[in-house]
Structures are given as C-alpha cells and as structure tokens.
C-alpha cells in the first residue's frame, strides 16, 4: 500500500496539462474500465460536488450500485472515490493504484496526478462491479480527464468566472469548454439561466439531437444554503429523466451528506460554519446565507489560493464580518496571510494574520465572537474539519471516562 501511495504522490508536481491523449492511451492499456458501466458527468463552476453527491445518493437509494468520483478530498484521499455512500476501502485503492502503475509503466506514459485519480476511479468502479458512476469534472469539461466517457446524462451547474487562464475570459468561452462534456446520446440538463450560456449549451445538445432541459424548479434539501436547492433540483430532475421513482428520490435526497459545504459545527460555545468559497460566483451564493443565518458579531477565518480572484472575493466578503483571521491552508500555493490581512485592515476591519491554520482556529476559538465562518479554499475547509473532528473526538472520550 505504501509503495503505491508513494508512486501516486510522486505525480503531484505534474501540474495541469490539458489534453486527453494520455488518458486514452492508458485506458487502452487497462482494457477500458470506463466502459464497464454507464456514467453520468457533472460540470459547472460551483455546485458540481453537491449535485453529484445528491444524484449518487438517489441512485443508491434506487438500488443501483453507484460509484461517485469527486474532488478535492477534504481530509482523507479516499473521499474522492465513494461506492454506495462509503469511501473505498484501502485494499481496493491499493489494487487500483497498482494496476494503474503497471499499466502506465508498460506503455511508458505517466499520467498527471488528476488523470491518475480519475483512472483509479474507473478501475475501482469496474472492480466493484458498479451499476453506474457519477463523475464530477475537475476543471472545464472538454479537455478534463473525466471526459473520456460517453455519458448517459450530462449535468451542468451554474457557470461563472473561474480558471479563466485555461477556459477563457468570457461566459460564452467558459460555457463552450463546459459544453464539451455533451456527447451524442446524453440527456443534457442545466440550471443555468444566463441567455448566452444557455444558448451555447443548447446548440451543443442540438448538434447531437440530444434532449435538453433547463431546470428552473426548486426542491427541498437537507443541505444548508438557498443555492443548494438549485443543485438538488438538478439532481432530482436528472433522476426522473433516468426513470428513478419518487420514493427513491425522496430517500436519496434526505440521506445526502456533503461535508465542508456550509457545514455547521457546534463546539466550545461557538457556532462554526465551514465552506469553500473561492470565486465571486460562490461568494455571491453564500452572502445571503451569512446575512440570514449567521448571527452577528461574526468572525471570518480566511485562506485562499493566490491564483484566485482574491480582491473581488474579499471585497464582497470582508465587510460582513467584525474581525478576520487570515491564514495559509496550502503553501506555497496559498496567498500570504499578511497580504490578505492588509486588505481587510484597509477597509477598517480588525485583522490578525496567522499562517498556520491550526493556530488560526485556536485564535478563533479564543475570540469574543460566537459566530465563526471558516473558508475561502476547500483546503482550509478540509483542515478545519480535521481539526474540529479531532477536538470533538477527544471531548467525547473525556466524557466516557
């Protein structure tokens, strides 16, 4: 197990290398595991993960053995690959990595880290004899590693500006990249209402004669945040189009769990919310929740990657808080805590810079504010979940003594 994980981690520095040539070559060597089951693919700027998780939960409730592939993980690498709502076991992960490593070495092609993670999903889902797989796109769509499947359904969540250096600087260009997941034979569903985006998606669907559905109805959800209703509505409509019955849909929606997305943690007399909001589109969605559901005075623990639109995120977010603690969840890719703090101080907000996330959480717990929001990057959300899970575990052990 250790040797295979070391090999996988050695790919971390491979970066982003768009293109599907490596994926197709390795899949041929592995005898096309992605063809062993039908797939549903989910793209978009925000909401992909919760939509994927909801749909997978519905399919599981309907009796389908369902594989779910998402990214990134928050605490445990195995979170990326779920089967019927459970992370894959270590033995299965070890076998999948081993088969990938041997296959890629045989043909002399080394996948990127994200390509390897995607290939592991295909291998593991085949070995587990999954009936169906739900695949979350990593970035874009057209050239994403997941886009080697020919899906039975293509879902596209709200599209906004993110990764513009790869996807383009206009909504039409970004939508065109996302529309690349649409292939002949796929039902196409979207919650986008922006005319330019809908036009691009509709044209791609019509090119293949595919059914195209704009989902505008909302649906109750156990996930917090008004914006989640759209994501759940998309998953529910997709399930209906695939012939899933009402009872299974209701059970699947009720059982959906998606950690780190406006997750509430009550600990130490504080109300703590954890989320990943790393672009203006995501911040715009979360602002109403902050204003309605998080009581003032509020404290923000904030960390973000330096390649994100930091200024626009900070301008929308910081004024909602009485104080801010800035941190660095994933150095060296993180923006510097002190640079972020200067931005908050410039608009008159009391701010502390603490590069180490655990120390930032400790500062937050010692603050006078009872309402704390932690986020900006999913890496920070993951660090917060690991920190508070451990704290609650220790507190529970003390109570049992």
Alpha-carbon Rg for the chain in angstroms: 21
d(CA 55, CA 153): 11
* Per-residue confidence (pLDDT) for residue 252, from 0 to 100: 97
CATH label of the domain that carries residue 137: 3.40.1190.10
- Residues 352-362 have a mean pLDDT of 97
> Within this chain, do residues 312 and 274 fall inside the same structural domain, yes or no?
yes
* Per-residue confidence (pLDDT) for residue 19, from 0 to 100: 85
Among the ranges given (63-72, 167-176, 386-395), the one the predictor scored with the smallest mean pLDDT: 167-176
Question: 310-313: which pairs have CB atoms within 8 A and are 24 or more residues apart?
Answer: 310/335, 310/340, 310/343, 311/343, 312/280, 312/283, 313/277, 313/278, 313/279, 313/280, 313/283, 313/376
> Within this chain, do residues 337 and 388 fall inside the same structural domain, yes or no?
yes
Single out the residue in 187, 219, 254 at which a domain terminates: 254
Q: What is the pLDDT of residues 204-255, one digit of tens each?
A: 999 999 999 999 876 686 666 666 788 999 999 999 999 999 999 999 999 9
- Residues 175-199 have a mean pLDDT of 95
d(CA 217, CA 300): 33
> Within this chain, do residues 370 and 229 fall inside the same structural domain, yes or no?
no
Single out the residue in 200, 227, 254 at which a domain terminates: 254
> Within this chain, do residues 281 and 337 fall inside the same structural domain, yes or no?
yes
Of the candidates 292, 299, 287, 301, the one whose C-alpha atom is nearest the C-alpha of residue 385 is: 301
> Within this chain, do residues 244 and 275 fall inside the same structural domain, yes or no?
no
> Within this chain, do residues 33 and 110 fall inside the same structural domain, yes or no?
yes
- Residues 263-276 have a mean pLDDT of 94
- Total domains in the fold of the chain: 2
Single out the residue in 235, 254, 273 at which a domain terminates: 254
Q: What is the pLDDT of residues 27-55, one digit of tens each?
A: 999 999 999 999 999 999 888 999 999 99
* Per-residue confidence (pLDDT) for residue 381, from 0 to 100: 94
283 C-beta neighbours (distance < 10 Å), count: 22
* Per-residue confidence (pLDDT) for residue 395, from 0 to 100: 80
With a cut of 90, say whether residue 349 has pLDDT above it. Answer: yes
* Per-residue confidence (pLDDT) for residue 99, from 0 to 100: 97
Residues listed for the chain: 401
> Within this chain, do residues 119 and 100 fall inside the same structural domain, yes or no?
yes
With a cut of 90, say whether residue 285 has pLDDT above it. Answer: no
The distance from CA 346 to its chain's CA centroid, rounded to whole angstroms, is 32
> Within this chain, do residues 220 and 279 fall inside the same structural domain, yes or no?
no
- Residues 151-176 have a mean pLDDT of 82
> Within this chain, do residues 275 and 245 fall inside the same structural domain, yes or no?
no
Report the Cα–Cα distance between both ends of the chain, in Å, rounded: 35
* Per-residue confidence (pLDDT) for residue 238, from 0 to 100: 97
* Per-residue confidence (pLDDT) for residue 337, from 0 to 100: 96
With a cut of 70, say whether residue 171 has pLDDT above it. Answer: yes
Of the candidates 162, 92, 107, the one whose C-alpha atom is nearest the C-alpha of residue 378 is: 162
What sign does the CA torsion over 117, 120, 122, 125 have? negative
> Within this chain, do residues 197 and 270 fall inside the same structural domain, yes or no?
no
pLDDT band with cut points at 50, 70 and 90 for residue 129: very high
* Per-residue confidence (pLDDT) for residue 258, from 0 to 100: 85
CATH label of the domain that carries residue 370: 3.90.190.20
Task: Note down the domain range covering 292.
Answer: 263-400
With a cut of 90, say whether residue 12 has pLDDT above it. Answer: no
Query: Is 44:125 a contact under the CB 8 Å cutoff?
Result: no
With a cut of 60, say whether residue 155 has pLDDT above it. Answer: yes
* Per-residue confidence (pLDDT) for residue 225, from 0 to 100: 60
* Per-residue confidence (pLDDT) for residue 211, from 0 to 100: 97
* Per-residue confidence (pLDDT) for residue 13, from 0 to 100: 76
The secondary structure element, H or E, covering residue 393 is helix 378-400
> Within this chain, do residues 217 and 317 fall inside the same structural domain, yes or no?
no
With a cut of 60, say whether residue 164 has pLDDT above it. Answer: no
Burial (CB count <10 Å: 0-12, 13-18, 19+), residue 123: buried
Report the chain's mean pLDDT, rounded to a whole number.
Answer: 92
- Residues 91-115 have a mean pLDDT of 96
100 C-beta neighbours (distance < 10 Å), count: 26
């Amino acid at each position: 197990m250790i040797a295979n994980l070391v090999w996988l981690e050695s790919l971390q520095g491979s970066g982003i290398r768009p293109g599907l040539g490596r994926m197709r070559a390795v899949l041929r060597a592995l005898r096309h595991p992605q063809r062993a089951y039908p797939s549903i693919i989910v793209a978009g700027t925000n909401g992909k993960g919760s939509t994927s998780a909801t749909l997978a939960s519905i399919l599981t409730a309907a009796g389908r053995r369902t594989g779910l592939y998402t990214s990134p993980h928050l605490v445990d690498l195995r979170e990326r690959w779920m089967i019927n709502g459970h992370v894959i076991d270590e033995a299965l992960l070890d076998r999948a990595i081993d088969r990938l490593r041997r296959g890629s070495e045989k043909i002399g092609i080394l996948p990127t880290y994200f390509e390897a993670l995607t290939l592991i999903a295909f291998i593991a889902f085949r070995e587990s004899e999954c009936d169906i797989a739900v695949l979350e796109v990593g970035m874009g769509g057209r050239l994403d590693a997941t886009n080697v499947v020919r899906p039975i359904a293509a879902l596209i969540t709200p599209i906004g500006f993110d990764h513009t250096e790869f996807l383009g600087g206009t909504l039409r260009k970004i939508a065109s990249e996302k529309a690349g997941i649409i292939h002949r034979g796929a039902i196409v569903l979207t919650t986008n209402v922006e005319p330019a985006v809908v036009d691009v998606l509709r044209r791609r669907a019509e090119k293949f004669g595919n059914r195209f559905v704009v989902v505008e109805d909302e649906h109750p959800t156990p996930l917090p945040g008004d914006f989640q209703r759209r994501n759940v509505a998309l998953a529910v409509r997709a399930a209906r189009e695939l012939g899933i019955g009402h009872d299974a849909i209701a059970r699947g929606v009720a059982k959906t769990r998606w950690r780190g997305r406006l997750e509430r943690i009550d600990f130490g007399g504080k109300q703590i919310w954890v989320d990943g909001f790393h672009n203006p589109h995501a911040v715009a969605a979360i602002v109403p929740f902050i204003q309605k559901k998080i009581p003032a005075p509020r404290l923000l623990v904030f960390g973000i990657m330096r390649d994100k639109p930091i200024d626009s995120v900070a301008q929308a977010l910081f004024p909602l808080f009485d104080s801010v603690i800035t941190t660095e969840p994933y150095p060296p890719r993180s923006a510097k805590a002190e640079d972020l703090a200067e931005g908050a101080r410039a608009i008159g907000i009391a701010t502390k810079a603490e590069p180490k996330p655990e120390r930032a959480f400790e500062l937050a717990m010692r603050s006078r504010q009872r309402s704390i929001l932690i986020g900006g990057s999913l890496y920070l959300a993951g660090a917060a979940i690991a920190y508070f899970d451990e704290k609650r575990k220790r507190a529970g052990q003390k109570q049992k003594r």
